[in-house]
Structure 1
Amino acid sequence: MKTEIYLLRHGETGLNRQKVYFGHLDAAMNELGKECIAHVANNFFGPLDVIISSDLERCAESARIFSRSKKIKVTYDQRLRELDFGVFEGRTYASLMEEFPKEAEQFFSGDYDFVIPKGESVKMLFERTYEAFEEIIANHAGKHILISTHGGAIRAILSRYLAGNKKAYWKFAVEHASLTKLVHEDGFVYLEYLGRGEKIQQLAVSTKMKKGA
């Protein structure tokens, strides 16, 4: 049985623009982010049966935009949240290295077991996203599924199913308002495309400039 899964990364937020680390901070999309998601939704012409989203607002709103376009109810799952950055939340790389140099160095060294103070580890992110993904596939076998989630969650899913381990976590670039398609068939998961729509933001900016907006 063939199950098609579309992984949607939410649109840009103000905190993304500020280049700070944040995961569970509940930032809403900015206007550009909303426009980009709407563009992706309006140009999605394939069949869609199910929409499941992280409960954080940037993903929930992205899912609702798709929901209005496709007339499908959204369900929410906290396990699809971004990595909980704990004390790193809302801070830039420079401020992290100043305030938490030891912890930041350990995290950026690629220590997947390191638990960020008051947050979680990449290993913990892997465990909960894998659990959620497996459950979604089992509950909606043979369906066309959209999962509205975060860059870290998408990288965790790709690392688990395409590489079989955590080591590929930092090797995937997943842009805002982009779709990545996985197919589950005969017990295997394969990648159909990665980050489609990654140029949507640049196109939206270009269009605005041409219109004098």
Structure 2
Amino acid sequence: MAGRRFVVEADGGSRGNPGPAGYGAVVRDADTGQIIAEAAEFIGHATNNVAEYRGLIAGLRAAHGLDPDASVDVRMDSKLVVEQMSGRWKIKHPDMQPLAAEARVVFPRSRVTYTWIPRERNKDADRLANEAMDAGRAGRAWEPKARPAAAAAQPAEEALPAPAAPRAGWAAPADLGSPTTFVLLRHGETALTPQKRFSGSSGSDPELSERGRWQAERAAEALVARGTVQAVVSSPMRRTRETAEATARRLGLEVRIEDGLRELDFGAWEGLTFAEAKERYPEDLDAWLASAKARPTGSTESLATLAQRTAVARDRIIARYAGRTVLVVSHVSPIKTLVRLALGAPPDAVYRMELSAASVCAVQYYSDGNASLRLLNDTSHLR
């Protein structure tokens, strides 16, 4: 039975190019023209083109959530994105390549077409992108003003549902097939790590230190010796990419970038120690420790929103590498969150886990939704 037909209109903008950026996307029923889903998000400091690609990805995902068998006509006023995604222009910029690759895997290529439209015909997506940027400037998450009945828009942070945790259970029966295994590797040390300074997605994006590179090589040796890693996925940040490349290089694999694995945005706390953040922003820090919905000073992201995007990244990786063992290189907050979700533990469980630099955790995911935590904070390869 053929799937539904959707029109996705997407846009993105940056006030400064690069500067504060956001995207917006709508999904319409192709027959009636009715908007049935909306998505928008402030994405921090980025270029127009990055924001446009993020809008495209969000629109495609919203359509996929409504009907994974649908056919989609994407309409955008970005000639660059339309021509690149149609295959007529090469994608040369390194920031665009992983985003285009991510957009291509949402639906089979045969079911997506791309059409350029003038800006005046893309007003709804443009409006949502500006709403998202306005929300980000005000230090809050975007929320829809008038949500359509069948919309699949991102909910307001105050109403965020808990990300779906895999169901609890013992080892899955054999008829469920091989599980998908995440080998979760925290990146090696940077200059900030030994000082225990906040180092998130909006900070300086430091490289690995000399010790961090040594740790990455020791982890790579141990992982290669096990002989089980079949794919490598990394956060886009420099320290994780460098850590991931140490293993990928030895195995002859490429490093696939997953934006949802990036560290939390720590806002004004970036570069500070816990004691310094406590001295300068005591009320904000106390609120953050007390509630998963609270955000670091100046950040647009809470642990609740991080859990949402981490769960989406998890599901996307599982779908792509079903039944295989994947090295997932990320940061403290996303890895702790993946472990927490696997255990079905409450949000404050992340404060009760130790996760050392270059440590390894392992989680297995079964086809019925069961998850099994197999390893936590293993540093034996560093001894």
The answer to whether the Cα contact below 8 Å between 1:175 and 1:198 also exists between their aligned partners in 2 is no
Q: Hey, what's the Cα distance between the residues in 2 that align with 1:9 and 1:65?
A: 13
Give the alignment partner of residue 22 of structure 1, picking from 185, 199, 211.
199
Partner of 1:33: 212
RMSD: 1.5
AA matched with 1:59: T
The answer to whether the Cα contact below 8 Å between 1:180 and 1:193 also exists between their aligned partners in 2 is yes
The answer to whether the Cα contact below 8 Å between 1:176 and 1:198 also exists between their aligned partners in 2 is no
Of 114-123 and 8-17, the range deviating more from structure 2: 114-123
1:115 aligns with 2:292: no
Partner of 1:148, secondary structure, is strand
Q: CA deviation at 1:196?
A: 1.6
Identity among equivalent positions (%) equals 28
Partner of 1:7: 184
Q: CA deviation at 1:97?
A: 2.2
AA matched with 2:232: I
Aligned pairs (5 A) from 1:1-213? 1=177, 2-24=179-201, 25=203, 26-44=205-223, 45-108=226-289, 110-119=290-299, 120-187=301-368, 188-197=370-379, 200=382, 203=383
AA matched with 1:75: R
Residues 104 and 90 of structure 1, relative CA distance in 2, 3 Å threshold: same
Q: Hey, what's the Cα distance between the residues in 2 that align with 1:39 and 1:199?
A: 6
AA matched with 1:9: R
Q: Hey, what's the Cα distance between the residues in 2 that align with 1:67 and 1:32?
A: 19
Residues 146 and 111 of structure 1, relative CA distance in 2, 3 Å threshold: same
The answer to whether the Cα contact below 8 Å between 2:342 and 2:373 also exists between their aligned partners in 1 is no
Q: CA deviation at 1:164?
A: 4.3
Q: CA deviation at 1:3?
A: 1.4
Partner of 1:68, secondary structure, is helix
The answer to whether the Cα contact below 8 Å between 2:219 and 2:381 also exists between their aligned partners in 1 is no
Larger radius of gyration: 2
Q: Hey, what's the Cα distance between the residues in 2 that align with 1:62 and 1:33?
A: 8
Partner of 1:209: none
Q: Deviations over 1:98-128 (max 9, x none)?
A: 22121122123x3110022332111111111
Residues 113 and 159 of structure 1, relative CA distance in 2, 3 Å threshold: same
Q: CA deviation at 1:163?
A: 2.4
AA matched with 2:218: H
AA matched with 1:189: A
Q: Deviations over 1:14-72 (max 9, x none)?
A: 01122211211201111111101101111222222111100001100001111111111
Q: CA deviation at 1:94?
A: 2.5
Q: Hey, what's the Cα distance between the residues in 1 that align with 2:380 and 2:346?
A: 25
The answer to whether the Cα contact below 8 Å between 1:177 and 1:198 also exists between their aligned partners in 2 is no
The answer to whether the Cα contact below 8 Å between 2:222 and 2:381 also exists between their aligned partners in 1 is no
Residues 198 and 171 of structure 1, relative CA distance in 2, 3 Å threshold: farther
The answer to whether the Cα contact below 8 Å between 2:190 and 2:208 also exists between their aligned partners in 1 is yes
Q: Hey, what's the Cα distance between the residues in 2 that align with 1:95 and 1:153?
A: 23
AA matched with 2:219: V
Q: Hey, what's the Cα distance between the residues in 2 that align with 1:43 and 1:21?
A: 28
AA matched with 1:185: Y
Q: Which runs of 4+ in 1 moved over 6 A?
A: none
TM-score normalised by the chain length of structure 1? 0.89
Which structure has greater helix proportion? 1
Q: Hey, what's the Cα distance between the residues in 2 that align with 1:189 and 1:97?
A: 36
Residues 73 and 127 of structure 1, relative CA distance in 2, 3 Å threshold: same
- Length, aligned pairs only: 200
Higher relative contact order (CA 8 A, sep 6+): 1
AA matched with 1:28: E
Partner of 2:193, secondary structure, is helix
Of 87-96 and 55-64, the range deviating more from structure 2: 87-96
Q: Deviations over 1:126-182 (max 9, x none)?
A: 111111001110111011101000011111111111124323221221111111111
Q: Hey, what's the Cα distance between the residues in 1 that align with 2:273 and 2:309?
A: 26
